[in-house]
Structure 1
């Protein structure tokens, strides 16, 4: 399912996206708040891409490949809604990762709003969640601008402060 926003093209990932996926997920800067750190090799990126392709095939959702309308053939990131298991249940989760060249331009907010719209209006989900590390102020602002509110914490990184769990319901989304 393709989707466009004012500035972005959002499309399901393809095998040809592997090199860009590894470049972004293997970049230490894009993993500043990721406790696991950057991807160590392209095989890990291929495994992640395979999981995304399976989610799209089996569930009709998953992270999109993100490009700008001005440069549709040059992905700048990956993100959208996908299924993640935490707090003892499978949850619809919004997330993203952008190349550093795309930072600071409002793309994450634009993607998050498009992801929520897709999840509620097209997929019919009743609630969408997000996980964010407590020191990641930029992503916290993105989630809050999209109308999401912190509802819980998740002690998911041993020896570190718990992640923040954000959520928004379809009813709350209708009033954002």
Structure 2
């Protein structure tokens, strides 16, 4: 298997780039923040957080797409991640999904939308995907707003219960789709 080099993406204000050792501490702080994890489940330990970065790097090397670290270009500040991932096997659909997670200090600046647009372009133009999906809990209206802003649409018939969560607010999920223009 050939290892692929992680492509760097740039937007007006952001750089989506390979992960660095310096990202591990702020990434762990994000993953320990209950507000950042509100729609994702329990906060992660430092070990779990570090392991996620190792998995992101391995996925990218294998597939040529995955989760980029996101930084504000002007300052070099690490603010989270954005990217593409294969849909989990236990979900009632298949494909590639887009996602993002930002530190609270980066919320409300349009960064998620900006990063997501760059990721969509990469997915359609470079990876050659015909469709990109997005999934979130039914109660995560902020992420659903980003999905709508980037042109994705939701069909309530596609809504599902996430088998990774017990009964409760994180179980009902929504599915958004965007076909290649």
Normalising to structure 2: TM-score of the pair? 0.87
Shift of 1:89: 5.2
Equivalent in the alignment of 2:3: none
Shift of 1:84: 2.6
Which of 141, 164, 169 in structure 1 is aligned with 2:179?
169
Equivalent in the alignment of 2:4: none
Alignment of 1:32-51 (within 5 A): 32-34=38-40, 36-39=41-44, 41-51=45-55
3-state SS, counterpart of residue 30 of structure 1: coil
Equivalent in the alignment of 1:115: 119
Equivalent in the alignment of 2:131: 127
Distance 1:90 1:63, change over 3 A: same
Contact in 2 for aligned 1:12/1:62 (Cα 8 Å): no
Equivalent in the alignment of 2:146: 142
Equivalent in the alignment of 1:83: 86
Matched, 1:92 2:102: no
Shift of 1:90: 4.5
Equivalent in the alignment of 2:14: 8
Gaps of 5+ in 2: 1-6
Normalising to structure 1: TM-score of the pair? 0.89
Equivalent in the alignment of 2:167: 159
Q: How many residues align?
A: 168
Equivalent in the alignment of 2:65: 61
Counterpart-to-counterpart distance in 2, 1:102 and 1:88: 32
